[in-house]
Structure 1
Amino acid sequence: MVQQSIQTNELRNQLLHSYETTRKMTNKLVEPLETEDFTIQSIPDVSPPKWHMAHTTWFFETFILKEYCESYRSFHEEFDYLFNSYYESVGSFFQRHSRGLLSRPSIEKVRSYRKNIDEEITRLIKETDEKKLFKISGLIEIGLNHEQQHQELLMTDIKYNFSINPLKPVYRELEMNSDAKASPLEWVSFEGGLVETGIDDEDGFSFDNERPVHKVWLDSFELATRTVTNGEYLAFIEDGGYQRAEFWLSDGWSTVKNQKWESPLHWENKDGEWYNFTLHGLGPINKEEPVTHISYYEAEAYASWVGKRLPTEAEWEVAVRDQPIEGNFVEDGVYHPVASIKNDEGQLQKAYGDVWEWTKSPYMAYPGNKPLDGALGEYNAKFMSNQMILRGGSCVTSQSHIRPSYRNFFGPDKRWQFTGIRLAGDVE
């Protein structure tokens, strides 16, 4: 009994620490914003910062407090409708593309909402009985990982909202190291064979789309030691890459023509010189930094242009699973990819952080996969169509959030996230 009591107290303390740390990070990320910034939704893909703050709070209220706290009463009855994202089994929800039309509730009301739910969750963790504590601990863990996902979306959405403003607002002043030189691009070979990928429940937290461990056959392959740089991608542009259909998938070529793409998102050409909008403002392109805000279509076209390909997600996972989870993450406060200057011969560099790396794998369920029961089964499984897998995290991903098995996914035309390119090739 004593040992069990110690374990219960350890779990309480762990949950309290994780909850406080994660919720504080969201508050930290919105500190530089002005009141007017909290409501903007410049395109349907992004959501207003105020909505992200409220939706992550709604998650804890809906799936934990309303289910496991008998005395709890809703903070506001209309918040169920306003801040539900897409959970059909929970109820109806406000249209995603119109979130920026909600001038009310005010940001101060949303802050009050967060404070109230934080107090209720903290009280529940401290006071609930042992049996219920172990039952809700998994839900709290999902909620915290869910909030970390929205922290990343929050940063990329802020960047896009700022990018369309002619004033080019600066989220945070930061002097980048413009002298750093990217290490030479080299190749690391991996022997093929029957391998295992994915993760099982007993291996620590994971989302349902990462499970279970399953076998995959791989032919021998090679991966580039680092991701593609701005300078290397600029050579593709200057060679007419956006005007040459032979490098593009059919849907990609149609998108290029329809959207009039000529460069990555956030690039601007002024008097023959390329500039890049960042969260630190508008400045000249740094050719040594990883290219980012690239769609799958652009990544595929670039790989075709250089005579290589993108890796499959199984290749990527097998190649990096023994790499330390180190890199440039949101905790570093840079919020922008930095040059890969480490040059350990024959070693992959910065598999994690900086930019999400497109793979050529479509988003599908693994063999034997089972979505979560109930409403949370909608979290991932319903999106397994017309999406491509990305791996590795970015400069606005939390370091504690990423792992070798982590599967991110977006449509092939999406590029407002910090997405980039690591090349792969076949080995004879």
Structure 2
Amino acid sequence: MEHTVTHFDTRLLLAKYKKIRMQSEHLCSPLETEDYVVQPIPDVSPPKWHLGHTTWFFETFILLPNFSGYKEFNAQYNFVFNSYYETVGARVLRTDRGNLSRPSVADIYAYRAYVDEQMEVFLENSVLSDEVSAVLELGLNHEQQHQELLMTDIKYILGHNPLFPAYRETDSVEEDLSVMDSGFISMAEGIYEIGFKGTGFSFDNELGLHKKYLEAFDIASSLVTNGEYLQFIQEGGYENFIWWHSEGWDWIKQQQAKAPLYWHFIDGKWMHYTLGGLKAINPYEVLCHVNFYEASAFAAWKGMRLPTEEEWEAACDHFYWGERWEWTASAYLPYPRYSKQPGAIGEYNGKFMVNQMVLRGGSTATPEGHTRASYRNFFHPRHQWQFSGIRLVR
């Protein structure tokens, strides 16, 4: 029997909707108009595209199929703001998002205002089915994912401007995160439950609660610091192939990589770009912006390794996490009994379960309340632009 969402619940959802939608615009408030359009590399989307795409999600999956009489804001926007949903039709290539001088920034803010107004009318005058409520909850979490991507993409855009402009002079995302403790936590061998359990929202890639046998292991209670990684650099870590996977060594040679993203050796001193501008490296601060190749090479140099995602989840109640996305040694694959949903929503996670590595824990760029112990992020091993760090296992 299908249940429905009450008007009381709908009002709570509307309040949550407004709060999340306002946060996306707040994150963009320090930007100049020109900043909204830049796409330095294919992996980075222009900020205005994020604002349009998250709006398109609600229009496409909530309003158009469920709100009788709804008039589409602009029929061309499906082509412009569809990200990867083959079910929904043709779309602008990801590499061409930076060529979209039109629609303008003003057009996109008008689009957001229109859809938000229509969503408010819809939610205030509807009793939602479980199915529609679930899509709405997915849309809200989807926008929160894009808020994190907004921060990483804005940092990449400004951090590759030769003037190194500050996003905000003081910004909580880039607050100093110093390691307060050190040492290792011993985890006993045994069978551990892995995956989402309980109530509330989760993504489909967290589902399939299952048991996993783990050998005994010791996991670091804190993340690797800038100072520890600097020692790796100074002792020739980027010049010695022995520490690197073959693909990682190829990446080193192709990119001529010598340090984490945003690190610059200027006048005999290591500096790094932050959202507050260019600053000297603090050796006691938690490391950030390394890719999987760098994380695994550093671990090998230390005579250790990265945790598997199952080890990380089994141990995460014993250490503080949430400052950096933490690379794991696990490929991004489906859990037992994983099942894709029908239609376009089924394209959300499953189609990416190949050639990517799992990250756990969230970061200071992750919206409050968006992550949890079972949350699985995933990126290709080469990616540095996330707020990612390293936790070791021995």
Match of 2:360 in 1: 391
Q: Is the 8 A contact 1:156 1:417 kept in 2?
A: yes
Deviations 1:249-293 (A, max 9, x none): 111011011110000000000122100001100010011111111
Q: Is the 8 A contact 1:187 1:223 kept in 2?
A: yes
**Residue 198 in 1 paired to residue 174 in 2?**
no
**Equivalent residues, number:** 391
Match of 1:330 in 2: none
Q: Is the 8 A contact 1:229 1:290 kept in 2?
A: yes
Partner-residue secondary structure (3-state), 1:240: coil
1:217 to 213, 218, 230: 213
Partner-residue secondary structure (3-state), 1:416: coil
2:386 partner amino acid = Q
Q: What is the TM-score when the length of structure 2 is the normalising length?
A: 0.96
Tell me how far 1:133 sits from its aligned partner.
4.4
1:195 partner amino acid = Y
**Residue 21 in 1 paired to residue 19 in 2?**
yes
Partner-residue secondary structure (3-state), 1:97: helix
1:31 to 25, 29, 40: 29
Whole-Å Cα distance in 1 between the matches of residues 345 and 339 of structure 2? 12
**Residue 413 in 1 paired to residue 392 in 2?**
no
Q: Which runs of 5+ in 1 are unaligned?
A: 323-346
Tell me how far 1:179 sits from its aligned partner.
9.1
Q: Is the 8 A contact 1:178 1:286 kept in 2?
A: no
Q: Is the 8 A contact 1:125 1:133 kept in 2?
A: no
Match of 1:78 in 2: 76
2:376 partner amino acid = R
Q: Is the 8 A contact 2:291 2:388 kept in 1?
A: yes
Query: Share of identical aligned residues, percent?
Result: 49
Q: Is the 8 A contact 2:7 2:124 kept in 1?
A: no
Superposition pairs of residues 198-277 of structure 1, within 5 angstroms: 198-200=195-197, 203-277=199-273
1:351 to 318, 321, 332: 321
Tell me how far 1:123 sits from its aligned partner.
1.0
1:289 partner amino acid = E
Match of 1:343 in 2: none
Whole-Å Cα distance in 1 between the matches of residues 361 and 338 of structure 2? 22
Question: Which sits farther off after the overlay, 215-224 or 53-62?
Answer: 215-224
1:398 partner amino acid = P
**Residue 290 in 1 paired to residue 280 in 2?**
no
Q: What is the TM-score when the length of structure 1 is the normalising length?
A: 0.89
Q: Which runs of 5+ in 2 are unaligned?
A: none
Deviations 1:287-315 (A, max 9, x none): 11111110000000000000111000011
Superposition pairs of residues 178-189 of structure 1, within 5 angstroms: 182-189=179-186
Whole-Å Cα distance in 2 between the matches of residues 179 and 381 of structure 1? 36
Deviations 1:320-376 (A, max 9, x none): 1x4xxxxxxxxxxxxxxxxxxxxxxxx52x312x21000000000001101122111
Whole-Å Cα distance in 2 between the matches of residues 144 and 294 of structure 1? 28
Tell me how far 1:178 sits from its aligned partner.
9.6
Tell me how far 1:137 sits from its aligned partner.
1.1
Whole-Å Cα distance in 2 between the matches of residues 69 and 377 of structure 1? 22
Match of 1:117 in 2: 115
Match of 2:332 in 1: 363
Whole-Å Cα distance in 1 between the matches of residues 342 and 7 of structure 2? 28
Question: Which sits farther off after the overlay, 187-196 or 237-246?
Answer: 187-196
Whole-Å Cα distance in 2 between the matches of residues 66 and 102 of structure 1? 24
Q: Is the 8 A contact 2:178 2:286 kept in 1?
A: no
Whole-Å Cα distance in 2 between the matches of residues 159 and 236 of structure 1? 25
2:275 partner amino acid = L
Deviations 1:199-223 (A, max 9, x none): 25x5211001000101111111111
Tell me how far 1:33 sits from its aligned partner.
0.4
Whole-Å Cα distance in 1 between the matches of residues 272 and 91 of structure 2? 36
Runs of 4+ in 1 over 6 A off after TM superposition: 175-180
Match of 1:279 in 2: 275
Q: Is the 8 A contact 2:195 2:206 kept in 1?
A: yes
